[in-house]
A and B are shown apart, each in its own frame.
Chain A
Amino acid sequence: MRINRRAVAAAAVIAVVLPLSACGGSEAGSADASGKVEGEITFQTWNLQANFKDYFNGLIADFEKQHPGTDVKWVDRPAEGYADKISADAAGGTLPDVVNVSPDLVAPLAKAGLALDLDKAAPQYKKEYLLGAWDAHRVPGAEGTYAFPWYLNTGPLFYNKRLLRDAGLDPEKPPTTYGEVFDAGLKMARQSKGKVAALANVPTIEDFGRYGVPLMNEEGTAFSFNDPKGVELLTRYKELYDAKALDPQALTATPESSGHKFLTESVAMNPGSALDLANFKKQAPSLYENIGITDQITSTGKANMYVMGVMVNAQSKRKPAAVAFAHFVTDATRQMEFAKKVAIFPSTAGSLDDPYFTEEDGTDETRVRVAAAKSLKTAVNYTPVLFSEQMKTELRNAVARALQGKQSPAEALDNAVRACDRLLRQS
């Protein structure tokens, strides 16, 4: 039937043309955020509704009261698949006006013209934040800052005193350098005949950074973690792996599974944050009785910090309201309030000098809090903002090949740098 053929042909043409039509260029929105603060905006958070519903509802109510004529719709997305959700929204043109992001999520959004440059749109707020935190959302190769810094986190190295004692180590003198960590790990493995591992995870990009390995060139156009120092770190990890001082499942471990291994007292040391302490107390009382806390291991003198940000959609139709709200969420008053509800740290200048972050009351919680706040003043976000999930997988697989002896540490890191550089060019 002619009609059927025509219909089928038309359907096929539409089906082929429609996807191509989506290949249109995306226009970067204007960086002008001046104008009246009004209208309805959407605010998206990252897995915060379950525990902080009242805090955010109160915050939104305060903002709407301060700015009559505004209406903030709050949506919260689960942690799992958060990046995919943002990808889908960004690709579909439904990205909310104000979005909770991390620096690695901001980079591709900024490149696609979807993140508002705050150096142009809201430069007056820059002085309110710690310089390092404000710079955390800069993207190499692009001018500007693409998100307000929000809360920061860092943490100590937790260790299991009982396991250290069993291995003949002094639990009151925990390792303080990478060299001491490796030596302690090897001794524990020897003493326990490979039954007790020191660590549950293989080195990640931030470990290379903390070890003092240069991760990228200055222009941000190529990776450099195959530097001799990087090879040295991986060689030391291979010694641990061969001696069974790394957990047998370290090659496939995730931060969650490593945390679980530490919780079940299968490994002796694990980096963590102030958030973990309450978790140990609740879920593993026997571990909590033996918990040891020491400074984060670093060869650079600067701890690693995690930065959360609040980005404004560059294509938002309500930019003045979106910028005002993003600033409101991240200003010093709101960040202090939030920090007192959960073990995070404000990124606003001067907030870390508040007695809440400088005075101990003898409990472990305040000890960890004060130490973390002190280290945050010089802390660095070691993970390059351009280091994507795929690049993390390339590095992880290269590290695994080196630890298994399939490639030498130098060869594995050379391959990883080559693969990451290729992905960087394609991004």
Chain B
Amino acid sequence: MKTPTATGTITSGPAPAEPLVPGPGRRPAGRRTPRGIRRHLPYSPWLFAAPGLLVVGAFSLYPFLSTLVNAFTDRRTLVPGEFVGLANFRELLDDEMFWIGLRNSSLYVLGVVPALVILPLLLAMLVQRHIPGITFFRSAFYTPVVASIVVVGLIWVWMLDDRGLVNSVLEAVGVGRVGFLSDQWLLLLSAMGVTVWKGLGYYMIIYLAALANVPRELHEAAAVDGAGPMRRFFTVTVPAVRSTMVLVGALSSVAAFKVFSEVYLMAGPSGGPAGEDTTLVMLVQRVGTGLSGRVGYASAISVVVFVVTVALMLLVLRADRKEDA
């Protein structure tokens, strides 16, 4: 005689275990979901995501698509635009200032990214050690990160001024005054220095987290095998934090290509002597703002910045994948 149970029959053996939370494809036979709930199930995730999607749509997607559309118009701040096809992009090719901006933004990436990948790692290794008072230095290195970029920029302008602290010291030791803020290349280099100085603490924290996950035994084993500090750095530390280095490289290259504040504050609104220190984002600001702003043309420059930024990200990630292979 078969005795029915809730999960099967005595003779047929134990029934397969049911998941505690049934998925849509594994609904228990015989248990019916109320009609209304079942009908709305596919929408539920969208409802939950709606607030977030609205914010992203309003503040990211809409401005992005708006910029994309404007790039093909001759729109100005107060004058409605008309579709002009690729005219803005053709104008870019003949615009000397665009090429200067592209050059400076690219140089910024080349100058800043290697420094921001390597220096914070070395700093993180330094402050990771258990030395009395090291907590103070950890905080000190992080201070520039939380300081306002405007304040930081102004302080450096005062220090690097022709009659500022740095030049006074250089003059006192017989080197003479250096035109940090009047020579186009020194100005760009000074701005890079400020970016690196301000970013060190931020990336140091990221590296500290990565270093904490490197097993101590690896270092000990390498040391037992006779590896010195340099060898251990290249064969243990670097491989262990390589993915973090890629992350830092990607983040810092995007930020460096889009640099604005440091150069604007140090080189002035005109972008240094004869505008030779203008970066692409500064050009967007200069061309696209104000009552006579050329929104269409500035949008075309923004599209170029976007394309280059995405290309930079892909380049870094591709380099990482090649290493993995």
Q: How many residues of A contact B (CB 8 A)?
A: 51
Contacts of A247 in B (CB 8 A): 162
Residue of B66, B82, B267, B274 touching A19 (CB-CB under 8 A): B66
Contact between B70 and A401, CB atoms less than 8 A apart: no
Contact B275 A84 (CB under 8 A): no
* A413 smallest CB distance to B (angstroms): 14
Quick check: is B69 within 8 A (CB to CB) of the other chain? yes
In the complex, the answer to whether A400 meets B70 with C-beta atoms within 8 Å is: no
Give the interface residue-count category, chain B: 35 or more
Check if B195 is an interface residue, CB within 8 A of chain A.
Answer: no
Q: A15-B57, A18-B62, A266-B163 are in contact. Are A252 and B287 (CB under 8 A)?
A: no
User: What's the A-B contact tally at a CB cutoff of 8 Å?
Assistant: 124
8 Å CB contacts to A: which residues of B80-128? Answer: 80-82
Q: A264 at interface (Cβ–Cβ under 8 A)?
A: yes
Decide if B78 touches A252 in the complex (CB within 8 Å): no
B-side contacts of A12, CB under 8 Å: 65
In the complex, the answer to whether B274 meets A388 with C-beta atoms within 8 Å is: no
Which chain A residue shows the least CB distance to B181? A249
Whether A26 is near chain B, meaning CB under 8 Å from some CB there, is yes
Neighbour of B267 across the interface among A15, A252, A390, CB < 8 A? A252
Instruction: Say which one of B5-13, B140-148, B291-299 lies at the interface with A.
Output: B291-299
Bound: A20/B81 CA distance, A: 8
Chain A residues, Cβ within 8 Å of B209 = none
In the complex, what residues of B have CB within 8 A of residue A249's CB?
Answer: 161-162, 179, 181-182
* Interface residue? B73 (CB, 8 A): yes
Q: Does B270 contact A (CB under 8 A)?
A: yes
User: Is B243 part of the binding interface, using a Cβ–Cβ cutoff of 8 Å?
Assistant: no
Q: Which residue of B lies closest to A252 (CB)?
A: B268
Q: What separation, in Å, do the CA atoms of A83 and B46 have in the docked complex? A: 41
**A400–B273 touching, CB < 8 Å:** yes
Name the distance in Å between A8's Cβ and chain B's nearest Cβ: 10
Residues of A contacting B162 with CB < 8 Å?
Answer: 247-249, 266
Q: B28 an interface residue at 8 Å Cβ cutoff?
A: no
In the complex, besides A108-B291, A396-B270, 18 extra interface pairs with C-beta distance below 8 angstroms are: A11-B61, A15-B57, A15-B61, A15-B62, A15-B65, A16-B68, A16-B69, A18-B66, A19-B69, A20-B69, A26-B80, A91-B77, A111-B79, A396-B275, A404-B274, A423-B292, A426-B76, A427-B76
Which residues of B come within 8 Å of A, CB atoms? 42, 46, 57, 61-62, 65-66, 68-70, 73-82, 161-163, 177, 179, 181-182, 187, 267-270, 272-275, 286-287, 289-294
10 contacts between A and B (CB under 8 A): A7-B46, A19-B69, A26-B78, A90-B77, A90-B291, A390-B286, A400-B274, A400-B275, A404-B274, A426-B74
